[in-house]
Amino acid sequence: MISFSAKKIYQVVYIVASTLIWGVASSFAVPVYTVTEITGGDLDVGQINPAGVNDSGQVVGDIYLNDGSTHAFVWGAENGMTDLGVFGGTYSTAIDINNRGQVIGNSTINDSNVGIHPFVWDVINGKSDLGVFGADSANVLGIDDNGKMVISLSGTFGPGDVPVFLYDTITGTHTGINPPLFSLPRTPSIAPQSLNNSSQVTGTIVTGNGGPQTVVIWDEINGRTDLGSLGGRVSWGLDINNNGQITGRSEYLFDNDATHAFIGEETSGLVDIGTLGGTGSVGNAINDNGQVVGWSLTENDKGFAAFLWDDGVMYDLKDLIDVDDPLFGQTFFAFAEDINSFGDIIVRGGNGAYLLTANRSGMIPTVSEPAILILFGLSLFGLGRYRYKLRYV
């Protein structure tokens, strides 16, 4: 008879081997998606441009109405579309929505469409004008789940003010982003794009005078970290997740306008995530799982395709749609704009806007079927060896 300790050894080896085998098969998989069209309901909508989605599946952006005006909106699968209107004039847009349901955006304030005011909206308090903080115009660019925003000013404003700052909607206070560097007309200056729940901001350092523009991460404690580019003169940080990972686009050849999407962080710099066969791509958003969405030129630059980049692989989103979905094969997706923590994605294409909802119970394995059968056979062989040892050793 085999000793108790030896039995335990065989048992542990078998369990570990089986876990590894099936872990490999399941980890190399991506979700399939169901498709929901975002519609304007009773509104006279000509075009819908989604911009952000939160973890509840609420979508924001702007709608081009057939009267020639553009309005911010919030949309949900249950309640449909809500027109957030304008302060005056004919233009407003919603930039993002956090997990508290706060919507941020920018709006004209008069019929001449001169001057932009940032706003915040929620279902209880409605829409509030945040003002321009002493400047001619202001734009809100991002919001975190704590209600902090990143805002930039433009035009003439007081010498003590800074053109880029964090604004706290709860306390009503604002903190300048590195005031010594960003007090006009000094350069370099930051063109911010997004922030995370730790108040880390990503964007682009604008050096002026034809100099390079490179990706930057900023926070109040560490200040500014320049992450450079993929090799070209210009790069943009477009989104940052709560782990400090960023995505965006960067020129990858010196003096070449073509850009590639990237994933990056302070410790490792930028990593090129490639294309779907064309010469260019852009990473628009990254979630806390490190999944990136955006758009890519297709082979021979014949068109645009929305992509999901997950665990080192870039997928054309049209290939991940559930074959049983009514819209499977009925439309195409050109641009992916945002992705939430559950992997749900908002896209544009085919003259429409869509919410792609991840279904992880129906994940598509990226390990081939023969490989899965081989792994299954190996696990059965391991089980047979284990039982043989128990009986005859």
Contact 225, 268 (CB under 8 A): no
Q: What pLDDT score was predicted for residue 116?
A: 92
Higher pLDDT, 75 or 223: 75
Instruction: State phi, psi for 27 to the nearest 5 degrees.
Output: -75, -30
Q: Which of 103-117, 187-201, 261-275, 305-319 has the lowest mean pLDDT?
A: 187-201
Regarding predicted confidence, which is higher, 300 or 31?
A: 300
Question: What pLDDT was estimated at residue 162?
Answer: 58
Q: Which domain does 7 fall in, by range?
A: 1-28+367-393
State the pTM of this model: 0.83
Note whether 46 and 192 are same-domain residues.
yes
What digits encode the pLDDT tens for the residues 284-296? 999 999 999 999 9
Kindly state whether residues 155 and 16 are assigned to the same domain: no
Judge whether residue 183 has pLDDT over 60.
Answer: no
Q: Which two tokens stand for residue 156?
A: 């003439």
Do 132 and 35 lie in one domain? The reply is yes
One domain, residues 351 and 253: yes
45 and 160 assigned to the same domain: yes
pLDDT digits (tens, 9 = 90+) for 260-284: 999 999 999 999 999 999 999 999 9
Cβ proximity of 138 and 152 under 8 Å: yes
Mean pLDDT (the chain, rounded): 83
Residue 329 belongs to domain with CATH number:
2.120.10.30
Do 4 and 150 lie in one domain? The reply is no
What is the rounded distance in angstroms from the CA atom of residue 383 to the CA atom of residue 295?
A: 46
Share of the chain above pLDDT 70, in %: 77
Asked whether residue 313 falls in the same domain as residue 393, the answer is no
pLDDT at 181 over 60: no
Report the distance separating Cα 127 and Cα 104, nearest Å: 9
User: What pLDDT, on a 0 to 100 scale, did the predictor assign at position 189?
Assistant: 66
CA distance 185 to 191: 14
Give the model's pLDDT for residue 23.
Answer: 45
Per-residue model confidence as pLDDT tens digits over 162-176: 578 889 888 888 777
Place of tokens 């939430």: 340
101, 58 contact by CB (below 8 A)? yes
In angstroms, the Cα distances linking 184 to 132, 213, 219 are 16, 17, 20
Kindly list the distances between the CA atom of residue 391 and the CA atoms of 11, 32, 132, 199, 274, in Å, as whole numbers in the listed order.
13, 44, 81, 61, 54
Q: How many domains does the chain have?
A: 2
pLDDT at 184: 37
The span from the CA of 250 to the CA of 41, in Å, is 38
Do 246 and 267 belong to one domain? Answer: yes
Same domain, 15 and 82: no
Whether residues 253 and 342 fall in one domain: yes
pLDDT(224) > 90 = no
Q: What percent of the chain has pLDDT over 90?
A: 60
Q: Regarding predicted confidence, which is higher, 176 or 298?
A: 298
Ranking 27-36, 263-272, 368-377 by mean pLDDT, the lowest is 368-377
Tell me what pLDDT residue 208 has: 64
pLDDT value at position 365? 52
**23 and 102 both lie in a single domain:** no
- 170 and 259 together in one domain: yes
